[in-house]
């Protein structure tokens, strides 16, 4: 398993458009991918779970990846979140 912290910089947090982009990126990988913050966590391949999470701008989250491509998956997803998922 690989885990890495990243700060959400999307202006409105993980609302519909950036959440959709996040899920699209996550589905490119075979690994299981979770977004965790505090005592909560969601499957990053589920648009419903991401939208229900309520992750706001400025939140520090942990991207956890487990599977055969976990290194690349974690690096890619952390980078996408750090760049704002097209919503900065």
- Report the catalytic residues: 15
CATH number at residue 62: 3.30.1340.10
Q: Is residue 25 part of a domain?
A: yes
Count of domains observed in the chain = 1
Q: Is residue 26 part of a domain?
A: yes
Which phi and psi (to 5°) does residue 21 adopt?
Answer: -65, -40
**Lowest-confidence range among 23-32, 36-45, 63-72?**
36-45
Q: Is residue 31 part of a domain?
A: yes
Q: Is residue 88 part of a domain?
A: no
Q: What is the pLDDT of residues 43-88, one digit of tens each?
A: 999 999 999 999 999 999 999 999 999 999 999 999 999 999 876 5
Greatest Cα-to-Cα distance within the chain, rounded to the nearest angstrom: 33
pTM score above 0.85: yes
- Is 61 in a helix, a strand, or coil? strand
Nearest-Å Rg of the Cα atoms of the chain is 11
Give the model's confidence band at 12: pLDDT under 50 very low, under 70 low, under 90 confident, else very high.
Answer: confident
Q: Is residue 35 part of a domain?
A: yes
Domain that holds residue 65: 2-82
Residue 74's contacts (CB-CB under 8 Å, 6 or more residues apart) are: 2, 3, 4, 63, 64, 65
Q: Which 8-state DSSP code applies to residue 23?
A: H
């Amino acid at each position: 398993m690989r885990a890495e912290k990243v700060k959400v910089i999307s202006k409105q947090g993980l609302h519909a458009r950036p959440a959709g982009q996040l899920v699209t990126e996550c589905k490119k990988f075979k690994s299981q991918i979770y977004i965790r913050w505090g005592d909560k966590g969601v499957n990053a391949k589920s648009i419903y779970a991401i939208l229900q999470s309520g992750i706001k701008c400025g939140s520090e989250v942990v991207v956890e990846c487990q599977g055969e491509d976990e290194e690349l998956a974690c690096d890619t997803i952390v980078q996408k979140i750090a760049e704002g998922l097209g919503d900065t």
